[in-house]
Amino acid sequence: MTLKLLLGVHNHQPVGNFEHVMEHAFQQAYRPFVEVLDEFPSFKITYHFTGPLLLFLEARHPEFLKTLAHQVRRRQAEIVVSGFYEPVLVSIPEADRLGQIQRARRYVKRRFGYDARGLWLTERVYESELLPALLKSGIRYVVVDDYHFLQTGLTEDRLHGYYLTEHEGQPLAIFPISERLRYLIPFRPLDEVMAYLRRLYEAGARAAVIFDDGEKFGLWPGTHDWVYGKKQWLRRFLERVLQEPWIEPLTYTEFLETEGPLGRVYLPTGSYFEMGEWALPAPQARAFAEFVHTLREQGVWDRVRPFVKGGIWRNFLVKYPEVNRMHKKMLLLRRQVERISRPEKRREAVHEIHRAQCNDAYWHGVFGGVYLPHLRHAVYRHLLRAERALGRRFAALRDHDLDGFQELYLRHQDLVLQISEQGGTLREFSSLSLAYNFQNTLTRRYEHYHEGITVGEAPPEEGVASIHEIGKTITAETARELKYDWHERVSFIDHFLPPDIGWQELHSMAFHDEGDFVLGRYQLGQQPFRAERKGTVAGQPAEIQKFFSPGRQGLEVTLRVRANEAGTLAYVVAHNFILPSALQGTLQAGPGTRAPFAEVLDLASPEVLEFHDASGVVLRLRVPEALRAVVFPFYTVSQSESGLDLTYQGHALYLFYPLRPGWNRFVQHLEILKTKGGTLHA
């Protein structure tokens, strides 16, 4: 009997990622990995390449796909699928689960001549409600983490193979990925890896099951030299495995066809262990990490690990309201596009929504995820392309994003707006022709990894650091931007502040608002489109009315304000917008003021503000009654595979208005313009 080595590699690049980033990943990890494997035709390998990456490779490196096809034909390699655009399957409708999996299977059949029956479960997010779609799609097996199995009461020594689960009597095989092997391969010295595999063999294990990110083989920090350079880890590993008579590499399907199941299992809802930490609210995530650390120090971790669990993936829809808004807009449009009468037009709209379901922008852990604006922009780009097929007029007042506040959803000619009961604020400001949402900002939030940042942490003496072990350092510049917001970074936020407040106080949110309007509940109406609220300013009665008038030239908003504190406070309307090219552009305020986006500006009587983005898009605000405008970019500090990143998330604009006794009336006009020669593709 031999120990069957089931080595699977998952390779992914998200929809909307920069081409130079994908090219770098190809050169550092995907290309050298497949080239080395090609030298060892008797070593069996299981590949997963996601749809966005396959489309990139088809356009840029078709010869690479030919090499993969050659390995499949000579029965060295197997291809598994997921949803084509790599959605978290539990987060999308049943019809899209089927559609995404079938799209992936069709592509693999056409491009590689292979009938894929195995499925890589995106982020290993498992819920039993997935089983009907998996079975209907012709899937025979899936891979998840061993942590799923440990929670059922199975012990680690019983996880070296596969189990059967079922839905209404239809079986599905499930393989448990070894966490131990995830941290050994390829980070630890070869002798250490082989010693662990030998222990499995001597204990009578049927298989060593490993399926993990291909990016760890060359793209993660320090791994390229370790895997392919001086250490030549991968080539030495393949040679060593093929030399040992007690170990036999197989594809997952080969193992499934030659070995029986270890038993039957019903798995709980969950993902891999680290995801449970990341999905928790930040204070609880910190407490959870400290609890796990304590258990490790006490030497009881291995015994109690199956009983320790954090949150679930769906918690990201609560943790980040911006994620929830993207998700609920996707569900709304998915229902609406079914009513498109022309089949080809409906199919293309559904295809755009499938692209928008790519998982990366919907959560955050070690990788940037939702903190990366270009990934969020890609979600909105494809959603808005689908929305263009629905016609130019739609209005509905209900709680679209299920946050407990109603939203007025407007689609009028070129604009898409969402106005929330909470604060009477603008939560979406999109152009259909540009397929771009200027309100796609991100609030600055405390994250649990902001605590205990270490400086200059070294990797292990031998090997290379796992992505979970890399030290986190920040510069003084980054530290200055580590601020937190007490409300979301949306627009038409109503403040009552001293008229001479400094921009530093606005930037750090270190001010006391004399009004109770920012988080208050407004009453929304549709004829005309409006938001109004009676509240207080400095303990005295106050009232705000906002009237939204979308038209061909943009959005006109009339603001009516009455407050007893007239003369001592300013009425301040805060906007937060994000520009397509980040900081590549200039702000103009009349003929005498032109400044780079990165600068802080404090302007008197601005009248007209124009954000000229490098893409050729201009966001123009006409604010004739404003006495003062304060403008600055804001950033987040977020975790990535390389450390802590400072990321532009938008521009804050505070417009100050004088308050006089009785009703005050102010008008703001927002226009979206496109200059000739622009580069923003819709």
Contacts of 258 (CB under 8 A, 6+ apart): 250
Which parts of 487-569 are beta strand (E)? 493-497, 523-526, 529-537, 540-551, 554-563
Provide Rg for the chain, Cα atoms: 27
Q: Is the dihedral of CA 490, 493, 495, 501 positive or negative?
A: positive
Q: How far is CA 191 from the centre of its chain?
A: 37
The token pair at 324 is: 């929830």
Amino acid type, 121: L
Q: Are strands 628-640 and 643-657 parallel, antiparallel or unpaired?
A: antiparallel
Catalytic-residue membership of 348: no
Q: Are 260 and 423 in contact (CB under 8 A)?
A: no
Q: Are 539 and 551 in contact (CB under 8 A)?
A: no
Q: Where are the alpha helices (DSSP H) in 75-145?
A: 94-112, 131-136
* Residue among 23, 38, 127, 213 flagged as catalytic: 213
Half-sphere exposure of 323 (CA within 13 A, CB side): 21
Q: Are strands 170-177 and 141-145 parallel, antiparallel or unpaired?
A: parallel
Catalytic-residue membership of 213: yes
Closest among 9, 51, 62, 60 to 34, alpha carbons compared: 9
What letters, b where the CB count within 10 A reaches 16 and e where it falls short, cover 355-369?
Answer: bbbbbbbbbbbbbbb
Q: Are 555 and 670 in contact (CB under 8 A)?
A: yes
Give the position of tokens 């891999």.
272
Q: Is the dihedral of CA 385, 329, 126, 267 positive or negative?
A: negative
What distance in Å separates the CA atoms of residue 173 and residue 408, rounded to the nearest whole number? Answer: 46
In angstroms, the Cα distances linking 299 to 218, 294, 296, 303, 364 are 33, 9, 5, 9, 30
* Residue among 96, 123, 428, 565 flagged as catalytic: 123
Q: Are strands 163-167 and 141-145 parallel, antiparallel or unpaired?
A: unpaired
What distance in Å separates the CA atoms of residue 50 and residue 11, rounded to the nearest whole number? Answer: 6
Preceding omega of 528 cis (within 30 degrees of 0): yes
State which H helix or E strand residue 347 sits in. Answer: helix 343-356
Instruction: Work out the burial of residue 254: count CB atoms within 10 Å of its CB; fewer than 13 is exposed, 13-18 middle, 19 or more buried.
Output: middle
The token pair at 263 is: 């038993």
Catalytic residue list = 123, 213
